[in-house]
């Protein structure tokens, strides 16, 4: 194995910061924007990675379907996201190893296979959601999915495998930043701030399929299994030492707060525009209407550009990160500079995920927004598998020394895990009983 391949630890970090150049380029040729993002730190980048196609669809649906009733979830979610991300970042700083490496070393092949399977399924769903997002975005401009999706899949595959992805990812990232428009739109829509304040501090919970479905989707898109691998590998690649970890911890919490604030304004803007008029988010065009207070008749264009950029970027990041994680965990050859003969498992996983996402994204009559939400629910249901492994590792004194979790962190992390499990089981039970009563009636 060549030295560049050996040094590659995380596809997610590599793609987001410098495309595929982690295996083929030198530091001197990193895009300036991604050097800037690297200075900001892995915490800010990772926490905001959830604002992709699935994330936007989920948060827009929260506001449209439930108004301000689910805003209270953002308070405990902020704490949970920050704690989970900080645990993984701390493990990276203490051990100098990625999550996949630690799982293999401390849990053996069976646990590694289980976690990697969960990661493959979760990231497979996320990849599908990105191509669904590409289809939704291009259809806003009158381009059918049968044309846009295969072209997008081919371009992404070629860019990543040929190692030129870093030349265009800056454009995709800049396009996705238009979702900051929801912040301005939220104020221009003149929401009821009194109602918002009341719902933020007065939790309500409903044991209905729609409410539970949305609840699990919100957790799944905010604390995605992919993000835990992402941030730990990011910290390792930056060479963060535990002696200088204080800045990274601050970066993690700053990124968490910023990401949830964006979610907060997405929910408010969609609640104040769509929910107020009894509209639901069933298409990209409807989700775009929440930007009308800001963009007027150009709302669909603004939304479409942002959705396309976010989806294209993530459609390259997630499959490649998955391929690196799985091949790293099992010791297979990896690296985009290899041929299919040299790294068949690595390139096979990447190609399979891109092809799968594209094929599902082109399916006729596919309810695009519904698919985006379902993939986030799958993320939420698989999240406990990753969290349990992370908790066992971070509390291993042989591994972490005196940097193991304190009691407050452990309580909060286990509550998060148990809540996700309980919500997932409740969703399954309520959905099954609802379907049975409908048939019986």
Q: What is the DSSP string of 312-325?
A: HHHHHHHHHHHHHH
Instruction: Give the CA radius of gyration of the chain.
Output: 21
The pTM (predicted TM-score) of the whole model is 0.78
CA distance linking residue 135 with residue 155, whole number of Å: 14
Place of tokens 């259809």: 139
pLDDT for res 432: 67
Residues 6+ apart with CB under 8 A from 332: 326, 343, 345, 346
- Cα separation of 37 and 16, whole Å? 9
In the predicted model, is pLDDT for residue 423 greater than 50?
yes
Longest Cα–Cα distance in the chain: 68
- Helix locations, 73-224, DSSP H: 74-95, 99-139, 145-161, 166-176, 181-188, 193-201, 209-222
- Average pLDDT over the chain, rounded to an integer: 80
Q: Could you tell me if 209 and 427 are in contact, meaning their C-beta atoms sit under 8 angstroms apart?
A: yes
Tell me what pLDDT residue 14 has. Answer: 45
CA separation for the pair 163, 353 (Å, rounded) = 18
At 349 the pLDDT is 93
* Portion of the chain with pLDDT greater than 70, in percent: 82
Domains annotated for the chain, with CATH where assigned, are 3-395 (1.20.1730.10)
Helix (H) or strand (E) holding 382: helix 368-394
- Taking alpha carbons only, the member of 428, 382, 415, 370 closest to residue 207 is 428
Residue 45: its pLDDT value, please? 66
- Interval 62-84 mean pLDDT: 91
Burial of 333 (0-12, 13-18, 19+ CB in 10 A): middle
Stretch 385-409: mean pLDDT, rounded? 91
- 51 contacts 259 by C-beta, under 8 angstroms: yes
With a cut of 80, say whether residue 30 has pLDDT above it: no
Distance separating alpha carbons of residues 299 and 285, to the nearest angstrom: 9
pLDDT higher than 60, residue 18: no
Q: Which helix or strand (DSSP H or E) is residue 328 part of?
A: helix 299-330
**What's the Cα-to-Cα distance from 58 to each of 44, 67, 129, 146, 346, rounded to whole Å?**
21, 13, 11, 24, 31
Average of pLDDT values for 309-322? Answer: 82
What angle in degrees, to the nearest 10, is found between the helix axes of 245-273 and 74-95? 150
Which residues have CB under 8 Å from 96's CB, separation 6+?
236
Contact 58, 375 (CB under 8 A): no
Listed range (336-350, 359-373, 425-439) with the worst mean pLDDT? 425-439
Q: Mean per-residue pLDDT for 227-252?
A: 84
The answer to whether residues 325 and 100 touch, using CB atoms and an 8 Å cutoff, is yes
| Least confident range of 126-130, 173-177, 412-416, 426-430 | 173-177
The Cβ-side half-sphere exposure at 153, using a 13 Å CA radius, reads 25
Q: Give pLDDT, residue 319.
A: 87
């Amino acid at each position: 194995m060549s030295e560049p391949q050996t040094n590659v630890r995380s596809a997610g970090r590599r793609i987001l910061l410098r495309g595929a150049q982690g295996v083929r380029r030198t530091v001197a040729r990193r895009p300036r924007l991604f050097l800037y993002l690297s200075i900001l730190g892995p915490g800010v980048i990772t926490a905001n990675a959830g604002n992709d196609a699935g994330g936007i669809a989920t948060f827009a649906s929260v506001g449209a379907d439930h108004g301000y009733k689910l805003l209270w979830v953002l308070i405990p979610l902020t704490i949970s996201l920050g704690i989970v991300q900080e645990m993984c970042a701390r493990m990276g700083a203490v051990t100098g190893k990625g999550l996949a490496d630690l799982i293999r070393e401390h849990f053996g092949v069976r646990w590694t296979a289980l976690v990697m399977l969960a990661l493959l399924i979760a990231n497979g769903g996320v990849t599908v959601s990105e191509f669904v997002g590409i289809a939704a975005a291009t259809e806003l401009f009158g381009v059918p999915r049968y044309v846009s999706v295969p072209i997008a899949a081919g371009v992404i595959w070629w860019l990543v495998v040929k190692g030129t992805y870093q030349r265009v990812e800056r454009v995709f990232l800049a396009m996705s930043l238009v979702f900051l428009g929801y912040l301005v739109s939220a104020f221009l829509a003149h929401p009821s701030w009194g109602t918002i304040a009341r719902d933020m501090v007065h939790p309500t919970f409903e044991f209905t399929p729609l409410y539970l479905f949305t609840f699990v989707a919100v957790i799944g898109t905010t604390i995605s299994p992919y993000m835990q691998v992402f941030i730990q590998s990011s910290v390792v690649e930056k060479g963060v030492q535990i002696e200088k970890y204080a800045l990274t911890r601050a970066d993690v919490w700053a990124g968490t707060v910023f990401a949830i604030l964006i979610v907060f304004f997405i929910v408010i803007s969609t609640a104040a525009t769509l929910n107020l008029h009894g509209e639901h988010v069933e298409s990209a065009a409807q989700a775009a209407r929440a930007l009308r207070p800001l963009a007027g008749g150009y709302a669909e264009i603004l939304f479409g550009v942002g959705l396309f950029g976010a989806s294209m970027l993530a459609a390259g990041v997630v499959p490649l990160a998955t391929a690196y994680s799985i091949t790293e965990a099992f010791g297979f050859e990896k690296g985009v500079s290899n041929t299919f003969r040299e790294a068949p498992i690595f390139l096979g996983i990447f190609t399979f995920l891109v092809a799968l996402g594209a094929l599902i994204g082109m399916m006729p009559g596919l309810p695009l927004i519904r698919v985006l939400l379902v993939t986030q629910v799958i993320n939420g249901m698989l999240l406990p598998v990753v969290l349990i492994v992370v908790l066992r590792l971070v509390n291993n004194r042989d591994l972490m020394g005196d940097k193991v979790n304190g009691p407050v962190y452990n309580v909060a992390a286990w509550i998060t895990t148990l809540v996700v499990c309980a919500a997932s089981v409740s969703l399954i039970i309520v959905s099954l009983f609802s379907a049975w009563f409908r048939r019986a009636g």
